[in-house]
C-alpha cells in the first residue's frame, strides 16, 4: 500500500534528473527546428504538439523508457513535421491535405447556412467572433472566415480593401464581388 504514495527516493531522483534532461532536450530540438514548430497551429501541428507532450510524459514517468529513446522520439516527430511542412510548401495537394482550406461562413452580413453546417459552426460562435472583433452588428460584417487553424477572421464592411485576401476561401458565392 505504501508504493501508491511513495515508491522510494531513487524513483523521485530519476524523475527529477530525466525530467530536466528531457525538457532541455525538447527545448533544444524545438529551437533547432525553427519557429514553425511553435507557431499558430493547424490540426496537423496540434497533433504533433500533443504527441511531443505525450512523449515527454512517457519519458518522464516510465522507467522502461530511456532518455535516449525519448530524445529519438522527439527528433522523429519534429523531423516528420519538418518533412510534411516542407512538402506542403512545395505541393498544393499536400498543403490541402495537411492544413485544409479556409471557409467563408458569413458574406455581406448574411450567414451562409450550408457552409456553417459543413464547418460544424453555430451562429452563436460567429456572433461571438463578431463581438470579439469589436462589431455590434452582423450587418457590419463583409465576411467571416473559418481559418485553417480554427480561428475566425472577421472583415468589416466598407474597408475599401481589394478582395485578394479571399483567394482559396471555400464557399465564396459565385456572383461577382
What average pLDDT values come out for the chain (177 residues) when binned by 10 residues?
A: 76 90 89 67 78 92 91 92 88 84 91 92 94 92 89 83 67 59
- Model confidence, pTM: 0.66
pLDDT value of position 90:
93
Q: Taking phi first (over 0 means left), then psi (-120 to 50 degrees means alpha), and beta for anything else, what does residue 168 get?
A: left
pLDDT value of position 162:
60
pLDDT value of position 35:
65
Look up cell 512538402; give the residue: 87
Q: What is the 3-state secondary structure (H, E, C) of 109-176?
A: CEECHHHHHHHCCCHHHHHHHHHHCCCCCHHHEEEEEECCCCCEEEEECCCCCCHHHHCCCECCCCCC
pLDDT value of position 177:
43
Domain 101-159, classified CATH 3.40.50.2000, yes or no: no
pLDDT value of position 160:
58
Task: Indicate the domain borders of the chain.
Answer: 2-97, 101-159
Q: What are the backbone dihedrals phi and psi of residue 22, each rounded to the nearest 5 degrees, phi first?
A: -65, -40
- Is 121 in contact with 83 (CB distance < 8 Å)? no
Amino acid at each position: 500500500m505504501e508504493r501508491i504514495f511513495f515508491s522510494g527516493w531513487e524513483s523521485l531522483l530519476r524523475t527529477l534528473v530525466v525530467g530536466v534532461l528531457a525538457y532541455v532536450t525538447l527545448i533544444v530540438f524545438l529551437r533547432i527546428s525553427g519557429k514553425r514548430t511553435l507557431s499558430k497551429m493547424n490540426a496537423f501541428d496540434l497533433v504533433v504538439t500533443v504527441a511531443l507532450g505525450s512523449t515527454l510524459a512517457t519519458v518522464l514517468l516510465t522507467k522502461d523508457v530511456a532518455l535516449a529513446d525519448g530524445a529519438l522520439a522527439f527528433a522523429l516527430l519534429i523531423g516528420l513535421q519538418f518533412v510534411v511542412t516542407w512538402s506542403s510548401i512545395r505541393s498544393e495537394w499536400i498543403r490541402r491535405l495537411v492544413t485544409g482550406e479556409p471557409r467563408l461562413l458569413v458574406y455581406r452580413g448574411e450567414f451562409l447556412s450550408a457552409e456553417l453546417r459543413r464547418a460544424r459552426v453555430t451562429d452563436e460562435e460567429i456572433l461571438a467572433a463578431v463581438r470579439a472583433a469589436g462589431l455590434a452588428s452582423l450587418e457590419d460584417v463583409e465576411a467571416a472566415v473559418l481559418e485553417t487553424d480554427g480561428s475566425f477572421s472577421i472583415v468589416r464592411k466598407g474597408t475599401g480593401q481589394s478582395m485578394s485576401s479571399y483567394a482559396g476561401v471555400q464557399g465564396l458565392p459565385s456572383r461577382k464581388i
